[in-house]
Amino acid sequence: MNETDQYSVAARLSKLDRYLPVWIIAAMVLGVLVGKISPDLKHDLERIRFADVSLPVGIGLIWMMYPILMKVRFSRMVKVSAQPRLMSLSLFLNWVVGPFLMFGLAWVLLPDMPEFRNGLIMVGLARCIAMVLVWNMLARGNQELAAVLVALNSVFQILFYSILGYFFLTVLPGWLGDDAATVSISMWQIARNVLLFLGLPFVMAAITRFVLVSKMGESWFDERIMPRLGPAALIGLLYTIIIMFISQGDRIVDSPIDVLRVAIPLVAYFVIMFTLAFVLSRWTGLNYEDTTAVSFTAAGNNFELAIAVAVGVYGISSSEAFATVIGPLVEVPALVGIVYLSLWLGRLLFRQTVARQA
């Protein structure tokens, strides 16, 4: 891997992805300004509700998930089942190590902010979706494997997110002797929002992809539809952020230090999780391409789902929802840095493999 390739990592991102933090900050500012100019709009947004979620917010939550899930090649999941060692490692990293690591970081770094802590825990439970394919591609990982692991995680989120959410938010704090930190929510409250804001767009995306690929072919879908999915998902995310900050944007103006405090455990999580996954994958004998794919899918998170569940369970103006919104703001600069970390670890641990790629 030569210096030119390393230098071009950020340049190889599309302008849309490269400036994602800028778009998110702009959406936050716009939401705050609209909320200041029209204070009554905050109450108007809450009047029409569906499944205890403001209808305008619910539309945005489904809107931002649907195009992302259309990128997932669900039909290729069977390939991972033929590699039990790799599948077991990925599931262990995503559904055991990841949630416990985020739980630990949240409790250590936010001991006095239980609401923000709960928001981060919900982020830790929401495993990676399609955006991770961008980072994996930049680091020259196995794109086919990454796509399969993303599909696998999508299915597992539908099946297990509510169970793990109840455990980490209600059961585990009680076991640790901190009854004051336990959250009084039911498993059904979480499951309902997962089914609505992940399950529904999941089914819609799978059907849409199947129908279009069957009629027009996969190459047509990849060339004509795929390039439009990123912008469509981003518009949905920005719309949702604007609506959320109309309701609670005053907080970011009054307490910017809160944003920093939430960002610190997120950055720590990205770095620790990726490095740990990379070392474990190398130790089990995977090559560089597979190691990179496993590591990025383990380190990535589905912030859209975390936002959706936090809004559905706690409300649009909650601190929990506020904490989940910080995730996309931190993700791009953090994971661009982790792409460089991947290339460095590749040279360190896979000298021959990286030399052949250069």
What's the mean pLDDT when you consider all of the chain?
81
127 forms beta bridges with 301
**Going by C-beta distance under 8 Å and a sequence separation of 6 or more, which residues neighbour residue 264?**
109
For 249, phi then psi, to 5°, come to: -65, -25
Give the whole-angstrom CA distance, residue 299 versus residue 277: 8
Position 24 in a domain: no
Task: Yes or no: say if 161 and 189 are a contact pair by the CB < 8 Å rule.
Answer: no
CA-closest candidate to residue 328, choices 110, 11, 22, 68:
22
Residues 135-193: tens digit of each pLDDT: 887 788 887 788 788 878 888 888 888 889 889 988 888 888 766 555 666 777 778 87
Position 12 in a domain: no
Position 22 in a domain: no
Alpha-carbon distances of 200 from 159, 225, 295, rounded to whole Å: 13, 20, 28
Residues 215-257: tens digit of each pLDDT: 888 889 888 888 888 788 778 878 888 887 787 666 666 777 8
pLDDT value for 356: 45
Q: Give percent of the chain above pLDDT 70.
A: 84
Position 323 in a domain: yes
Residue 7 has pLDDT above 70, yes or no: no
255 forms beta bridges with none
Alpha-carbon distances of 183 from 117, 169, 266, 310, rounded to whole Å: 11, 6, 21, 13
Indicate the residue type of 78: V
Q: What is the DSSP letter of 95?
A: I
CA-closest candidate to residue 350, choices 282, 298, 281:
282
Position 9 in a domain: no
Q: What is the DSSP letter of 127?
A: B
> For the residues 63-79, what does the mean pLDDT come to?
72
Task: Yes or no: say if 185 and 166 are a contact pair by the CB < 8 Å rule.
Answer: yes
pLDDT value for 184: 63
Structure tokens at 327: 């995730």
Q: How many CB atoms lie within 10 A of CB 230?
A: 18
81: pLDDT confidence band, cut at 50, 70 and 90?
low
Q: Is 302 helix (H, G, I), strand (E, B) or coil?
A: coil
Give the whole-angstrom CA distance, residue 274 versus residue 143: 17
Position 347 in a domain: yes
Q: How many domains does the chain have?
A: 1
The tokens 């390739």 sit on which residue? 5
Task: Yes or no: say if 181 and 112 are a contact pair by the CB < 8 Å rule.
Answer: no
Structure tokens at 184: 């009084």
pLDDT value for 15: 66
Position 175 in a domain: yes
Position 156 in a domain: yes
168 is in which domain, residue-wise?
52-357
Q: What CATH number is associated with residue 267?
A: 1.20.1530.20
